Amino acid sequence: MSGMAQSLSPPAERLAALIDRLVRGLARHWLLIFNLLVGLYLAMPLAAPWLMHSGHTRAGRLIYLLYRPMCHQLPDRSFFVFGQKAVYSLEELDAAGVLPGLALYERRKFVGNEHLGYKVAICQRDVATWGAILLTGLLFGLTRRRWRPLALRWYVLFLVPLAVDGTTQLLGLRESNWMLRTISGGLFGVATVWLAYPYVERAMEEVLQGHREEAR
């Protein structure tokens, strides 16, 4: 390593040192970075209805537009804020005169109004999934050395409610509800952190250990 460093030009040495610091910083603070990114991803859809309600409609609609490729944003499967209710069925939205006869693609564009409130920019299941990932990630940070990776068979079991609820609704066999979407999404988020984060922690520890050995 030292011989390689001596053969580098000064600019290349500085670049190599910068990359080395970045790698070590990521290895030390990966969980903080992950949690901040997840928190930001979740915070923006939650901010969209507040922006609409407070009159900042251009900023609010921009968030809806940015998240549209990541989520179907169907209003009958989303949480609402600043309205009479937190959730509305398709029948209730039709009765309110906001969705009657609209195709699926057009339904997702409805963000709300002053009477019904404004929807969160991601659906109920996604709110539960990302919320669970954030909360479980924070818990992992408090007790990280006690965690062992979730066995793959248990991870698959955690996914069963999500698969059954989503597939049967997609096929038109039944209609899900906000509680089932929240539970299935939350289980998926918890299981994903439980499976992945212990492996990431182990990999980052190996990176730091390698740097410590090189420094000796």
In a domain, 170, yes or no: yes
pLDDT at 210 over 90: no
- Residue 102 forms part of a structural domain: yes
- Residue 89 backbone dihedrals phi, psi, to 5 degrees: -80, 165
In a domain, 3, yes or no: no
**What is the arithmetic mean of pLDDT over 44-69?**
97
Tally the domains of the chain: 1
Q: Is residue 4 part of a domain?
A: no
- Please check whether residue 109 lies inside any domain of the structure: yes
Confidence of residue 67 (pLDDT cuts 50, 70, 90): very high
Q: Rounded mean pLDDT of 40-55? A: 98
Query: Domain of 173?
Result: 10-215
Comparing 5-14, 74-83, 114-123, 175-184, the range with the smallest average pLDDT is 5-14
pLDDT of residue 216: 65
